[in-house]
Structure 1
Amino acid sequence: MPFAPDPQPVATASQRSMIIIATGVVLALLYFGKDVLVPVILALILALLMAPFVRLLQKLRLGHSYAVFIAVLLLAMVVAGLMTVIGSQIVHFAQSLPQYEKTVHAKLQLLHDLTIARLEAMQGEAGDVINGLGGKSHAGNAPVAPAAPPYGNGIDVSVLASPWNAIKGALSSLWNPLATTGIVLVVLVFVLLEYESLRDRFIRAIGGTDLRATTSAINDAAERLSRFFVSQFAVNFGVGLAIWLGLAAIGLPNALLWGALTAVLRFVPYVGVWLAALLAASLAAAVTPGWSLLFMTLGLFVVVEMLVSQLLEPQLYGHATGLSPLAVVVAAIFWSWLWGPMGLVLSTPLTLCLVVMGRHVRAFTLLGILLGDTPALTLPQRFYQRALSGDADEIITAARAFLRQGSLARYCDVVLLPGLQLAQLDLVQKAIGPEQLLKARTAVVRVIESLGKTAPAQSRWRRRSSVLDDDVAHYLRQQREDIAGRWQGPLAVASGSVVLCMASGGYLDDIATEILVRILRDLRVDARHVSLKDIEAFEGESHPEATPDAIAMIHVVNASGADGVASSDALAAEVSKRERYAHAMVVAVYLPNLLETQELPPLDSHIDRIALSFEQAVQYTVEKFTK
C-alpha cells in the first residue's frame, strides 16, 4: 500500500535499554568532548563549503596543495580583516568611555529615582497605613534609615576611567575564539588536502554497498549547506551594512563597530541581532542626555530586522535548509546546551546534516521526519486522519487553500478519492469502529457538501443518523432529489444538454460517481447521478414532456480498480444498446486505485473515450459542450 507506513519491528526491553544507554553515551561524548569536536566539525562544514572553490582554483592549473593553501589563506585574511576592524573599533570605543561617565551617572540616577526610589516610598507609605490600622505608631521610636547616596556615587568607575583595562578584558575574552580559529584553520587545511579520501571513507562507513544513496546524501548536504551559508552571508553582510549606514546617519559613535558586530552576531539565530542592538542601544543611552538617540537606534534595528526576516529571508533561503521552524528552535536550544555559544552558531548546519542523512540513510529516517520541513503525512493521509477525528472544518479549510491554485477535479483526484480509498481499505479490514465510522462519514458528507456548494436539506442531528444508516453516495444524491425531484432536474431541457453519470456497481464507485456529478454541476453542466435501474424505470414510464435527444454524454465510473473493469464494460455495453442513448458519447472513467499500477484498458467498440481521472473526464465533457 503506497500510503501505509513501513512495518517496524517491535523492540524488546533489552533493545530499548541498549538504545537508552547508547543515547546517554553519545550525549556524554558530545558534552565532554566539545573542546575537540567543535573545531573539527566547524572545519568539516567549512570544507564542504570551500571544496568547490578549491576545485575552481585547480581548474586554473594550480596544484591541489597550492589551491588548498590559497583558499585557506584567503579565508584567514577575511577573518583577520574582520577581527582587525572590530578590534580597532573596540579600542576607539574604550578610549571614548570616560567622556560618557557623567551622562551614564545622570541617567542611572534618573532610573533609580523613577523605579527603586518610588518603590521604597510606596513601601514606607504602606507600612505607615498598616501600623495606623493596628493602633500602633512607631514613627517616633523607629530608627531612621540613612538616606541612600546618589546612585552614581557607589559605582566604581575605575574600569570606565582606564581604557587599558577594557582593552585587556577584550583581549582576554577574544583569546579563546582566536585559539579556536587557529585550530579550525589547521584542521581545515588537512581536511581539504585529504577531502576526496575522507569522502570515500565516509561513504564506505555509512553507505556500505549502497554507494548511490550515500553519494546522493553527501551531494544534497553540500548543496543545501552551500546555498544556506552563501545566502546567509549575503543577508548578514547587507544587514550589517544597513545598520552601519543607519547608525552613522543618526549620529551614533563607532557605527562601523556596531554594523560589524551585527553582521557577525546575526549568525547566531534569534538572539544575535538583538544582542548587538542591546549593546548599540546602551551606547546610545550614554552619548546624549536625552533619549531620542536610544529610541532611534532601537527603531533602526527593529525596522531592518523585520524587513529582512519577513520579506528578504523567506525569498532567499526560506526553503533552502529543509528544516521546520520548530526544529530550528529546538536544535538551537539543544546544541547551545551542549556546546554553549558555538553550539548555537552550529545548530542549524548540524541539524541540516542530520535531516539530509534522514532523507537518504534508512537508520536516520526518524530524524528526517521529526526535523525536516517535508509534511509527515501525505494529503490523502491528512484527509483520512482528519475525517477519522471528525474534523471536517480543517479538511474544508485545507481544501479551499488547495482550490485557490487548483481545480475541484484536481483536488478530488489528488486528495479526496485517495483519502476515501484509504478509508475503504480500513473498512474492508474492519479496522474502523462504529464511532469512527460515524465521524468519518459525517465529515466526508460535510466536505463534499461544502465543495459541491449544495446546502444540507436536513438538520445536523438528522443528517448524522441518516449518514450512519445509509451510504454516503445515496445520502448526497437524495439531497438533490429532495430539491429538484426524482430525476434531479426537469425532463424538458435543451437537446444534448444532459450528462448521465453511472457507477459500475461498487460502494466506492457510487461515491466517485456522486463526486463527478458535483464537479460537473459546479461547472454549470446538467449532470445527473443515475443507475441502470433508474434508466429501466424511466423507459417503462410515460414521460411525454421529456426531450428525446437530451442525453449528450454518459460517464461510467469505476473506482474499484481492475476488479471493476469488467462490470464497467458490461454497463457501458448495456447502455449503448439502448436506442435512446445511441448518439450519446460513452466515456469510461477508470479512476486510479491505491493498490494497483494504473494501466490503460483496451478501448471497446461501445466506449468512445477512456478517462483516467476526474480531471480528464471533465476535460472531455468541456470539449463536448464547447464544440
Structure 2
Amino acid sequence: MSDSIASRTLPSAVTGLVGTATVLALLYFGRDVLIPITLAFIFSFLIAPFVRALRHMGLGQATSVCTGVLVVTVTLLAIGGVIVSQVSAMGASLPQYQDTIASKIETLDKLTRGTLGDLGGPAGDLIEHFTSDGASGPQPVLQNDGSVKTPVLVEIHEPALKPFQLLGKVITSVWPPLETAGIVFVVLIFVLLEHESLRDRFIRLAGGGDLRATTIAVNDAGERLSRFFISQFLVNLATGLAIWLGLSLMGLGQALLWGTMTAVLRFIPYVGVWMAALCATVLAAAVDPGWSLALMTLGLFLAVEIIVAQTIEPKLYGHTTGLSPLSVVVSAIFWSWIWGPVGLVLSTPLTLCLVVAGRYIRALKVLEIMFGELPALTLPQNFYQRVLSGDAHEIVTSAKRYMQHKSLAEYCDGVLLPALHLAHFDLKDAAITPEEEEKVTSSIIAVIEALSGNPKWWRKRKRSTVLTGEGIGRQLRAQRISDGGEWQGSFDVPPGSVVLNIAIGSQYAELATEILVRILQEQKIDARSRNFEELDQPPPPGARKEAVAIVCLISVDPLNDCEAMSDALAKMRVRLPDAKHFALLLPSPFENPDLKTCIFSEADHVSRSYDDVLQHCQTAMKGHAS
C-alpha cells in the first residue's frame, strides 16, 4: 500500500518541480518581452475606468482609448520633465554647498573616529572630493643639481566626437527605454480596444467548463486591481503634494522634485518613500550649516507617512488587495530578483492576480493560503489548535479581542462550541492521546473561567481526561458550586428570578449547560443547573417553585436526544407549570443534521444558539418582573 502511494506521489512531486523550474526560467529569460506586456496590462486596469467613463459620455471606443492613453502619456512626460529640470537645477546649485558638505563630512568622520574616511570605492572618492582643500597638486621635486622643479600634469583627452558619432551615442543610450515605452503603449492601446474580447478569450482558455466560476474570478481580479491602482495613485499623489508643500514652507530647494519623487517611489512597497526621504534629508543637510533643516525634513516624511499608512490607507484600500503584509515583502523580493526594479514596482499587483486565481482555481489554492490576508485556520480551528498546544493564555487574549465588538454568547456560538465539536470528532476517532486530552481539559477550563469573569488560575484542578471520566462540564460546575454554595446560591430570592438549566444527554450537554449558566450569570441573571439524572431526585431543601421563571433544557445531539428532551419537557411542565420552558438545541455545525423531525410541542420556545436563548431569557425575565 505504501509503495503504491509513493509510486504515485514521487512522479507528481517531480512533475511539480519541473513545472515550477520551467515557469521561473520563462519569467527570467523572457523578461524583455514579458515586462512590456505586463506593464501594458497593468496600465489597462488603471485606465479602463476612465475609458468606460468616456464611452458613457458618448465618445466612441477608439476615441476613448486614444484619449485615455494620451492622458497617461502627457502625465508621464510631465513627471519626467519635472524630475529632469529639478535634478539639473540641483546639480547646478550643489557646488555652492561644497563647504557645508565638507564640514558635515568632517564632523561625521570625527564622530565615527575616522571610519568614514576609510571608505573605498565611489563613496570614498566622493568623500575625498568634498573634503579636499582644492590646493593639492604636484609637489616640487628637488633635482640632483640642487634645483627645484614642479612636475607638469599631463591630461589625456579623447578626440572630440563628430556630430553623427555623438548622435549615435545618444540614440544608443536612450533607445532601450524608448523601445520599452513604445511597446508598452502599443500593447496598451490594443488591450483597451479589445478588452472584452481578451476577457472572453481568457475565460474560454482558463475555465470554459465552469463559465460562472471563471467569470467571477476574472471580474474579481479586474475590480481588485482597478480599485487598488486608482486608490494607490490618489494616495501617492496626495502624499507627494503634502511633502511638496511641507518642504516649500521649510524653505528647502527643489521641493517639487522631492514631492514628485515621493509620489513615484511610493509605488515601491515599504522602502520607496524612505528612498525619497533619505535623498531629501541629505540635500537638507548639505544646504543648512546646522542640522535643524535635515531633522525637520526627516520628521516631515515620518509624520506624513505615519498618517497616510496608519489612517488613510487602511480605510481606503486596506483590504482591497487581499494580501498579507508578509506576502507583500516576499513578493517584492521575488519579483525584483526575476525582473529587477520593474518587478519591484509590479510585485503587489502580480501577486494579487495569483491570490485571486488561487481563490477560484482549486489547483492554485495553495497560493491563496500562503499569500492571502485571510487566516489559514478558522476561529474554531485556531481555538482547537491552541488548546491542543495547551496555550490557554493566547486563546483568552484572542477571545477578548473578539469580544470587544461581540458578546460572550456570540463568541461561544461562533468559536467555542464548534471547537468543542472538533474535539468530539477526534475523540470518537481515537485521534487524541491522553497527554493531549489533559492539555485540552486544563486549557478549556482555564478559558471558560477567564471569559466568565472567574479566572482562578491558581486553582489546583483535579486530573482527568478531556471528554471522558468526570467531564469538563461537571468539573466547572463543581468549581462554581464551591464558590457559590451547595445549591449554587441562596433560595431566598424574589419569585421569578431563577433560570434553571438542565443538560439532556451526554457529558457534552453538561459542558454546554455550564457555558449557558455562565453566559446568563455574566448578564446578571441568577442561572443554576441540574443534571438529567437529578430530575427524579427531590428538590433541594428550601427551594420554591415560584422562584423559577424559566426552565431551559440543553441538547448537543438533538436527533438522538429527541425522545429524552420531550419526556423532560413534559416532566418539567408538570413540576413547574408557571415557568416558561425553553429547548436549546446545539448540534454540530459541521454535520448539518435535519431537525425537522424534532418537534417539541411542550416548549414555549426552541433556540438554536446561545445568543438567541439569552435574548429570550432577558425578554421573559423583564416581562415576569413587570
TM over 0.5, yes or no? yes
- Give the corresponding residue for 1:265: 265
How far apart, CA to CA, are the structure 1 residues paired with 2:611 and 2:442? Answer: 26
How far apart, CA to CA, are the structure 2 residues paired with 1:94 and 1:317? Answer: 38
How far apart, CA to CA, are the structure 2 residues paired with 1:155 and 1:613? Answer: 88
Shift of 1:370: 0.8
3-state SS of the aligned residue for 2:537?
helix
How far apart, CA to CA, are the structure 2 residues paired with 1:221 and 1:466? Answer: 49
Check whether the contact 2:101–2:130 (CA below 8 A) recurs between aligned residues: no
- Give the corresponding residue for 2:149: none
Check whether the contact 2:248–2:255 (CA below 8 A) recurs between aligned residues: yes
1:245–1:150 distance in 2 versus 1, CA, 3 Å: closer
- Which has the higher mean CA deviation after the structures are superposed, 478-487 or 598-607? 598-607
The one-letter code of the counterpart of 2:391 is: D
Check whether the contact 1:554–1:586 (CA below 8 A) recurs between aligned residues: yes
- Give the corresponding residue for 1:365: 365
Q: 2:591 aligns with which of 566, 588, 595?
A: 595
1:329–1:11 distance in 2 versus 1, CA, 3 Å: farther
Q: 1:611 aligns with which of 591, 607, 611?
A: 607
Aligned counterparts, 1:297-446, within 5 A: 297-446=297-446
Q: 2:581 aligns with which of 580, 586, 592?
A: 586
Shift of 1:449: 1.1
How far apart, CA to CA, are the structure 2 residues paired with 1:173 and 1:11? Answer: 54
Higher relative contact order (CA 8 A, sep 6+): 1
Shift of 1:261: 1.1
**What is the CA deviation profile of residues 164-196 of structure 1, one whole-angstrom value per residue up to 9, with x for unaligned ones?**
xxxx99999876544432221111011112222
3-state SS of the aligned residue for 1:500?
strand
> What 5-or-longer segments of structure 1 have no aligned partner?
1-7, 122-147, 159-167
Check whether the contact 1:225–1:349 (CA below 8 A) recurs between aligned residues: yes
1:245–1:625 distance in 2 versus 1, CA, 3 Å: same
2:555 aligned with 1:558, yes or no?
yes
Check whether the contact 1:491–1:546 (CA below 8 A) recurs between aligned residues: yes
Shift of 1:155: 12
- Give the corresponding residue for 2:44: 47
> What 5-or-longer segments of structure 2 have no aligned partner?
119-127, 137-154, 156-167
1:120–1:523 distance in 2 versus 1, CA, 3 Å: closer
3-state SS of the aligned residue for 1:555?
strand
Shift of 1:493: 2.7
Check whether the contact 1:502–1:554 (CA below 8 A) recurs between aligned residues: yes
How far apart, CA to CA, are the structure 2 residues paired with 1:557 and 1:338? Answer: 60
- Give the corresponding residue for 1:22: 19
Check whether the contact 1:603–1:610 (CA below 8 A) recurs between aligned residues: no
Shift of 1:375: 1.2
Give the percent of matched residue pairs that are identical in Structure 1 and Structure 2: 48
Aligned counterparts, 1:463-478, within 5 A: 463-465=462-464, 469-478=469-478
The one-letter code of the counterpart of 1:463 is: K
Shift of 1:591: 1.6
- Give the corresponding residue for 2:34: 37
The one-letter code of the counterpart of 1:235 is: V
- Which has the higher mean CA deviation after the structures are superposed, 10-19 or 598-607? 598-607
Check whether the contact 2:108–2:116 (CA below 8 A) recurs between aligned residues: no
The one-letter code of the counterpart of 1:81 is: A
3-state SS of the aligned residue for 2:528?
strand
How far apart, CA to CA, are the structure 1 residues paired with 2:173 and 2:266? Answer: 19
Aligned counterparts, 1:469-548, within 5 A: 469-539=469-539, 543=541, 545-548=542-545
How far apart, CA to CA, are the structure 2 residues paired with 1:294 and 1:585? Answer: 74
3-state SS of the aligned residue for 1:375?
coil
Shift of 1:291: 2.6
Shift of 1:17: 0.8
Aligned counterparts, 1:286-297, within 5 A: 286-297=286-297
Q: 2:98 aligns with which of 90, 97, 101?
A: 101
**What is the CA deviation profile of residues 496-551 of structure 1, one whole-angstrom value per residue up to 9, with x for unaligned ones?**
22211111112211111111111112222221111243232224x7x3x3324222
- Give the corresponding residue for 1:72: 69
- Give the corresponding residue for 2:571: 574
Shift of 1:113: 4.3
The one-letter code of the counterpart of 1:612 is: R
The one-letter code of the counterpart of 2:182 is: G
Shift of 1:600: 5.5
Shift of 1:65: 1.9
How far apart, CA to CA, are the structure 1 residues paired with 2:298 and 2:335? Answer: 29
2:625 aligned with 1:626, yes or no?
no
The one-letter code of the counterpart of 2:84 is: G
- Give the corresponding residue for 1:239: 239
The one-letter code of the counterpart of 1:358 is: G
Check whether the contact 1:285–1:291 (CA below 8 A) recurs between aligned residues: yes
1:490–1:113 distance in 2 versus 1, CA, 3 Å: closer
Check whether the contact 2:450–2:456 (CA below 8 A) recurs between aligned residues: no
* TM-score, scaled relative to structure 2: 0.86
How far apart, CA to CA, are the structure 2 residues paired with 1:272 and 1:506? Answer: 60
CA RMSD of aligned residues (A): 2.8
How far apart, CA to CA, are the structure 2 residues paired with 1:53 and 1:456? Answer: 62
**What is the CA deviation profile of residues 60-108 of structure 1, one whole-angstrom value per residue up to 9, with x for unaligned ones?**
3332222211211111111111111212222222222332333333433
Shift of 1:213: 1.0
Shift of 1:348: 0.5
**What is the CA deviation profile of residues 328-368 of structure 1, one whole-angstrom value per residue up to 9, with x for unaligned ones?**
11111111111111111000000111111111111211101
1:225–1:254 distance in 2 versus 1, CA, 3 Å: same
Shift of 1:48: 2.3
* TM-score, scaled relative to structure 1: 0.86
Check whether the contact 2:409–2:610 (CA below 8 A) recurs between aligned residues: yes
3-state SS of the aligned residue for 2:73?
helix
**What is the CA deviation profile of residues 594-621 of structure 1, one whole-angstrom value per residue up to 9, with x for unaligned ones?**
2024646665442211111111111111
How far apart, CA to CA, are the structure 2 residues paired with 1:25 and 1:326? Answer: 26
- Give the corresponding residue for 1:152: 132
How far apart, CA to CA, are the structure 1 residues paired with 2:343 and 2:320? Answer: 21
How far apart, CA to CA, are the structure 2 residues paired with 1:299 and 1:455? Answer: 45
How far apart, CA to CA, are the structure 2 residues paired with 1:150 and 1:547? Answer: 96
Shift of 1:118: 7.9
How far apart, CA to CA, are the structure 1 residues paired with 2:129 and 2:547? Answer: 101
1:505–1:599 distance in 2 versus 1, CA, 3 Å: closer
The one-letter code of the counterpart of 2:322 is: G
Check whether the contact 1:109–1:150 (CA below 8 A) recurs between aligned residues: no
The one-letter code of the counterpart of 1:618 is: L
- Give the corresponding residue for 1:59: 56
- Give the corresponding residue for 2:546: 549
How far apart, CA to CA, are the structure 2 residues paired with 1:293 and 1:13? Answer: 63
What is the number of equivalent residue pairs in this alignment? 578
How far apart, CA to CA, are the structure 2 residues paired with 1:244 and 1:573? Answer: 78
Check whether the contact 2:102–2:130 (CA below 8 A) recurs between aligned residues: no
